[in-house]
Amino acid sequence: MTSVMPNPIAPMTPEDEIKAAGGVLGWYAGLATPIRWMVGASIGILLLSLVQLVSGDGAEALTSAGTSGAMLRFAVPILLAGLGGLWSERAGVVNIGLEGMMILGTWFGAWGAVNFDSAWAGLFFAAVGGAIGGLLHAVATVSFGVDHIISGVAINILAPGLTRFLADQIFGRWDGGSISQSPRATGLPKINVPFLAGGKLPGSDERTFDLLGEIADTGVFFVSDIAAISQGLLSQLSLYTVLALLFVPLSAWSLWKTRLGIRIRICGERPEAGESLGVNIYYHKYVAVITSGAFAGLAGGFIAMELTGGYREGQTLGRGFIGLAALIFGNWRPGGVLFGALLFGYPFVLPLRDGTGESTHALLLVITILLVVILVVSVRNDRRVDAIIAGVVASATFIWWLLTDTAPSWLPNAMPYATVVLVLVFMSQRLRMPAADGQIYRKGG
Within a domain: residue 95?
yes
Alpha carbons 142 and 150: distance in angstroms, whole number:
13
Within a domain: residue 6?
no
**Structural domain total, the chain:** 1
Helix (H) or strand (E) holding 191: strand 190-191
b/e code 361-397 from CB counts within 10 Å (16+ = b)? bbbbbbbbebbbebbeebeeeebeebbebbbebbeeb
List the alpha helices (DSSP H) in 30-64. Answer: 33-55
Within a domain: residue 260?
yes
Q: Choose among 86, 112, 58, 98: nearest CA to 340.
A: 86
What pLDDT does residue 2 have?
40
What pLDDT does residue 205 have?
82
Helix (H) or strand (E) holding 407: none
The CA angle 212-213-219, to the nearest 5 degrees, is 100
What pLDDT does residue 349 have?
86
Identify the bridge partners of residue 199 per DSSP, sorted by sequence position.
194
Within a domain: residue 26?
no
What pLDDT does residue 29 have?
67
What pLDDT does residue 419 have?
72
Within a domain: residue 35?
no
What pLDDT does residue 429 have?
67
What pLDDT does residue 83 have?
98
DSSP label of 190: E
Within a domain: residue 317?
yes
Does residue 93 come out as left (phi exceeding 0), alpha (psi in the -120 to 50 range) or beta?
A: beta
pTM of the model: 0.91
Within a domain: residue 397?
no
| Helix, strand, coil share (%) of the chain residues, nearest 5 | 70, 0, 25
Concatenated DSSP letters for 304-360?
Answer: IIIISSS-BTTTTTTHHHHHHHHHHHTTT-HHHHHHHHHHHHHHHHHHHH-SSSHHH
Total Cβ atoms within 10 A of residue 218: 9
pLDDT along the chain (445 residues), means of 10: 39 49 63 80 92 85 92 95 98 96 98 96 98 98 96 97 96 93 93 90 86 92 94 94 97 96 96 93 97 98 95 93 90 92 86 78 90 89 88 94 83 72 72 91 78
Domain that holds residue 145: 62-192+236-335
Total Cβ atoms within 10 A of residue 158: 16
Within a domain: residue 43?
no
